[in-house]
Amino acid sequence: MAEDKGKRDSLQMNRKGCQINNGFVQNEDNLEQDPDPGSSQDNPQPSTAGIDGSREPNVQRIQPYAGMPKEVLFQFSGQARYRLPREILFWLTIASVLVLIGATVALTVISPKCLDWWQEGPMYQIYPRSFRDSDKDGNGDLKGECLERVQERARMRLVYCSLIPQNQIMPGLFLVIAFCPLDDKHIWFQLSRTRVGKYTDYYIWHDCTHEDGTTIPPNNWLSVYGNSSWHFDEVRNQCYFHQFKKEQPDLNFRNPDVQEEIKEIIQFWLAKGVDGFSFDAVKFLLEATHLRDEIQINKTQNPDTVTHYSELYHDFTTTQVGMHNIVQGFRQIMDQYSREPGRYRFMGTEAYAESIDRTMLYYGLPFIQEADFPFNNYLTMLDTLSGNSVYEVITSWMENMPEGKWPNWMIGGPDSSRLTSRLGNAYVNMMNMLLFTLPGTPITYYGEEIGMGDILASNLNESYDINTLLSKSPMQWDNSSNAGFSEANHTWLPISSDYHTVNVEVRSQNSVAQARVQWCDHSSLQPQNSGLK
- In tens, the pLDDT along 6-45 reads 545 544 444 444 444 444 444 444 444 444 444 444 444 4
SS3 264: helix
Q: Mean pLDDT per segment of 10 residues, for the chain of length 533 residues?
A: 51 45 44 45 46 50 72 74 84 93 84 83 91 92 67 61 56 84 91 97 94 89 95 95 94 97 95 92 95 96 95 96 96 94 92 89 94 96 92 97 96 92 92 95 95 83 71 95 94 93 90 54 41 35
**What pLDDT is recorded for position 514?**
56
- Nearest-angstrom CA–CA distance, 64 and 391: 80
Q: Which domain range does residue 130 map to?
A: 116-152+376-527
- In tens, the pLDDT along 56-74 reads 555 556 677 777 787 777 7
Spatial CB neighbours of 104, under 8 Å, sequence gap ≥ 6: none
N-to-C CA span, the chain: 125
**What pLDDT is recorded for position 148?**
67
**What pLDDT is recorded for position 377?**
94
Count of structural domains, the chain: 1
**What pLDDT is recorded for position 72?**
74
| Kind of pairing between the strands at 209-211 and 214-216 | antiparallel
- Nearest-angstrom CA–CA distance, 68 and 302: 105
Residue 160 lies in a domain: no
Residue 243 lies in a domain: no
- Report the CATH number that the domain containing residue 397 is assigned in CATH: 3.20.20.80
- Nearest-angstrom CA–CA distance, 221 and 303: 11
Q: Which amino acid is at 532?
A: L
The DSSP code for 247 is: T
**Alpha-carbon dihedral sign for residues 307, 310, 311, 314:** positive
Residue 425 lies in a domain: yes
- Nearest-angstrom CA–CA distance, 421 and 502: 14
Residue 381 lies in a domain: yes
